[in-house]
Structure formats: structure tokens, C-alpha cells
Structure 1
Amino acid sequence: MKQYFITGTDTEVGKTYVTCKLLEAASQLGHKAIGYKPISAGCDLIDGEWVNEDAASIQKSNSIDLPISEINPIALTPPIAPHIAAVEADVLLSDEKIIKGLGSLQTYKPDLLLMEGAGGWRLPLNVGDETKPTRFLSDVVASIGMDVILVVGMRLGCLNHALLTAQAIRGDGLNIAGWVANDITGNMTRYGDNLASLKAMLPEPLLAEIPFGQQPSDDRLALAIEQLC
């Protein structure tokens, strides 16, 4: 089994979209693929159950049918920072709960397991003294030792965001398996030059490029799955 943590240079950069496309590509190549989003914030009440839109997308992209509660065990209602939503709901964002959910999915013995984060790399899990967080989701990932896939939202400022995020991941002792360039605006000035700069400055492989408003190349996704699996 290969498993990876998918993070992004910021929130709303396409982590879920990339997760789903990789899951679907893996399934098309005959792999059993499962996605896991341990923490979400922003849910709608559907048939008596709080459902996060991103988690529901992952559920549909899995190669086996699983209940949403297994894919997203911590579903917080308001669309705000999860550690703040958790305090309001009196919910503990614990390592144990996150790792237990991962272990539950591992029992299905998938060929590929993708765990999607929330927000960026340093997502607070708790509120300590004077509301200062003392634990981050990245700490959990580091404790597991998962390789990381970095989704870069291609827009002004992405070079700084990508390099700092990659530096933080490596500084936490983790390996970056590769990165994905996701054009999230369609109007980035000198897109090609910025992409070339990222290729030059990030030593890890570019797994895929996602054009704005278009499906990524099936061939490129297949190649990415070949590299990951």
C-alpha cells in the first residue's frame, strides 16, 4: 500500500480536486484507491447527517463504496478555521482520532490511500494558553511519516508560498513525493515563466499540471499514478 498526505500552498487551491483526480486515475488503472479527509469545516445537513462537500467528492471518487463518516470522521459545521470550530462544538481534534480513522481505512488494504489536509501545511488542531495552538495537523503527518504531495495554486505569490511550504515540509523531516500545478484563476500573468521557475526551484517532480477550467491530461495523470504506486 502506498499512502500520501495531500497539502496545499493555501486554502482553496484545489487539494480536493487533485485528490479526486488521482483517485479516479488510479481506479481506471485497476488500483484500489481510497481518499481520507480526517477534518473538515463547513457542512450541510443531508438526510440527518452533516456532510462536507469536499468529503462527498472524495467519497464519489473512491474505488470502493464507503460511508461518509469513515472518509470524514471529524465534520465541523461552520466554514471557519477547524480549531476554532472545534472549540465552539466542544470537539477534540486529537492525533488519536485522526490516526484511528486512517487505520480503519487501511484495513480495506487499498493500493493507494490519499489523506487530504485542510487549509495549508500548518493547520492548528487545538487552542492552548492564550489561544495559542500547540499542535498542528503537520505534526500528525510527521508522526506517521507520510510522504507528501504539494498542490500549488498557480496565482500571483505562488512562488513564495510554494517554496516556503516545501521548506517547512522538508524541515519536518518528510519527503515530498511530487507537486501539482493547478491554474486556479486562468489569468495569471506570465504563467509559463512562473511554472518554469517552480520547476527550476523545486527539486521534486511535477506530477501533473491542471489547466484552468479543463480536465487534466489522462496520460499525465496515469504517469503520476505510475510514479506514486
Structure 2
Amino acid sequence: MRPTAPFHDIACFVTGTDTGVGKTHACAALLHALRAAGCASVGMKPVASGSEWRNGHWHNDDVAALRAAGSVDVPPDLTCPFLLRTPCSPHLAAAAEGARITPEPIRAAFAALRAQAGAVVVEGVGGFQVPLATGPACWDTADLAVMLDLPVVLVVGIRLGCLNHAALTAAAVRARGLRLAGWIANRIDPDMALAGENIATLRESLGAPCLGELPWLQASAEAAGALNISPLLAATPEHQQVEAQGQAA
């Protein structure tokens, strides 16, 4: 479904029910959908672990996919301030490299992206609450979402166990005072029994709009057509201000 009004100043934090549920694919589809709606859009993955040296620079597939899907060309260090080598939990990858993931570079990169694009889609790491640093200054991806103060889009990998994982993640998002702006069903198991019935159950139980269902193995640019991004407009400050004025009147 295409929006009926232009989109301005959109940003969201995309998390998943677990690692490997297709967050990057969903983010790329969202970016393509925003592009189709005429919005200058850019993706951001503040922390990425798992990269290889390729053509003279460190390459991460997720970061590359987000950069390809966006419509605004930005410096790579804004897309991913913390690009780590080892494919493991970010706090462990950082420790192995003698680094520490800290909030300020992420905050600054996000602010720079918002100044350059009408929409910023921020992808988390793994599930909702993945450690970024331990010790006295410990924090995790849930803290990252709170720091950026963004509405959350939840990617649900449609496979056995997704109902429980989705319910727990939605509860964790709301417990941190964040708004669950919507969720995306990503069909990652083509052989799952009663997949449609599971999605119907999620529609009834999550208490947030379903932005769409992404088919199995469909390219993100094509999958974008299955998304309804209109609920993201309702999460923008501009739209909320208009609603408040209408209620006051």
C-alpha cells in the first residue's frame, strides 16, 4: 500500500525476534518502499560484527545491503560507526579487537544522517537486548534504541517458536518505554506448517499494525511492494503534533 501523503522526518529502529530472522532484508525492503514513496532515505547499522577485507576496505554484507537500498549516499562511517571483524556478539568482537562500543559516535552519526535524509532506518544487532559493552559502562541494543528514542519495528521470523519470541520481544520493547510502531512477518521457513495461521495469531496478539509479509527468497526491492509504510508516518513528531492539535480543537 502506498502512502497518500508525503513522508518527512521519519526514523525507526528495527529489531528482531532473534538473530537470523531477516532484519537486514526487512530494512532494505523498508528503504525501497520509502524511496518509492518519494522520500530521501538512508539505512544505518550502528554496530556490525563480522567483516572481511575486500577491495581495499572492510566489508560487511548487512551494511552493504543497507547502503545499496537507500537513496542518499553518505560516508560509510555514518552508516556503521562500529564495524567489527569477528562474527560474534558485538561486545566480544570489540574486546577481541581492543575496542569498546560507546554511545557518542553512534549518536553523532545518527544526527548527521537525520540532517541529510528524510527517513533513517536503523537496524539493531541480533535480538532486542544484545550486549554492546560489559563492565561499569555496560549497555545493550535496548539501551541503544532508548538513546535514539525511536519507534520500533519488529521483524518476526515466521518459524516454529515465533509466537513466543514475538510476544516476549514486544513486551520487552514496551517495558523500555518505547513504542512498537509495527511489525513485519518474514517468511524464513518455506516448509513451516500453518504459517498463515501463525501470522493471523500475531496480528491479533501483538497490539501493533502489521506492515506486511515478506515472501520467501524475494529480493528486497520487490518485497517492498508488500509493505504498508503508512503506520510509520503516525510515529513522526509532525504527524503527532497535527493529531494533538486536532484533538485540542
TM over 0.5: yes
Q: CA deviation at 1:219?
A: 4.4
Residues 90 and 164 of structure 1, relative CA distance in 2, 3 Å threshold: same
The answer to whether the 8 Å contact 1:180/1:209 transfers is yes
What is the CA–CA distance in structure 1 between the aligned matches of 2:105 and 2:43, rounded to whole Å?
A: 16
**Is residue 58 from structure 1 mapped to residue 62 from structure 2 by the alignment?**
no
Deviates more, 1:41-50 or 1:28-37: 41-50
| Distance apart, 1:200 and its partner CA | 1.2
How many angstroms apart in 1 are the aligned matches of 2:40 and 2:12? Answer: 14
- How many Å apart are 1:47 and its aligned residue? 2.6
Give the whole-Å Cα distance in 2 for the aligned partners of 1:95 and 1:65. Answer: 23
Q: Distance in 1 between matches of 2:198 and 2:28?
A: 25
Q: Is residue 156 from structure 1 mapped to residue 160 from structure 2 by the alignment? A: yes
Corresponding residue for 1:75?
A: 83
Q: Does the aligned pair in 1 maintain the 2:159–2:188 contact within 8 Å?
A: yes
Question: What's the secondary structure of 1:107's corresponding residue?
Answer: helix
Return the letter of the residue paired with 1:77.
R
Counterpart in the other structure of 1:86: 94
Equivalent pair of 1:13/1:151 in contact (CA under 8 Å): yes
Deviations 1:104-153 (A, max 9, x none): 21221x22111000111001011227xxx831121121133210000000
Could you tell me which residue of structure 2 aligns to residue 120 of structure 1? 127
Structure 2 residue matching 1:12: 3-state secondary structure: coil
Change (3 A) 1:83 1:26: same
Contact between 1:56 and 1:68, CA under 8 Å: does it hold in 2? no
Instruction: Determine the C-alpha separation between the residues in 1 that align with 2:199 and 2:110.
Output: 33
Indicate the residue corresponding to 1:101 in structure 2: 109
Given that residues 46 and 80 in structure 2 are in contact (C-alpha distance below 8 angstroms), is that contact kept between their aligned partners in structure 1? yes
TM-score by length of 1: 0.92
Residue of 204, 209, 212 corresponding to 1:208: 212
Note closer, same or farther for the CA distance 1:89–1:173 as it changes in structure 2 (3 Å cut).
same
Structure 1 distance, partners of 2:83, 2:212, is 29
What letter corresponds to residue 71 of structure 1 in structure 2? T
Distance in 2, Cα, partners of 1:49 & 1:199: 43
Superposition deviation, residue 214 in structure 1: 3.0
Q: Structure 2: which 5+ residue stretches go unaligned? A: 1-8, 234-249
SS, match of residue 171 in structure 2: helix
CA distance in 2, matches of 1:180, 1:38: 21
Which stretch shifts more, 90-99 or 55-64?
Answer: 90-99
Q: Is the 8 A contact 2:45 2:124 kept in 1?
A: yes
CA contact (8 A) 2:209 2:231 kept: no
Contact 1:32 1:64 in 2 (8 A): yes
Select the residue among 215, 226, 245 that pairs with 1:220. 226
Task: Report 1:192-203 matches (<5 A).
Answer: 192-203=196-207
Query: What is the match of residue 149 of structure 2?
Result: 145
Rate the CA distance shift 1:12–1:218 in 2: closer, same or farther, 3 A. Answer: closer
Using the alignment, how far apart are the partners of 2:225 and 2:215 within structure 1? Answer: 14
Q: Which blocks of at least 5 consecutive residues in structure 1 are unaligned?
A: none
How much has 1:55 moved relative to structure 2? 0.2
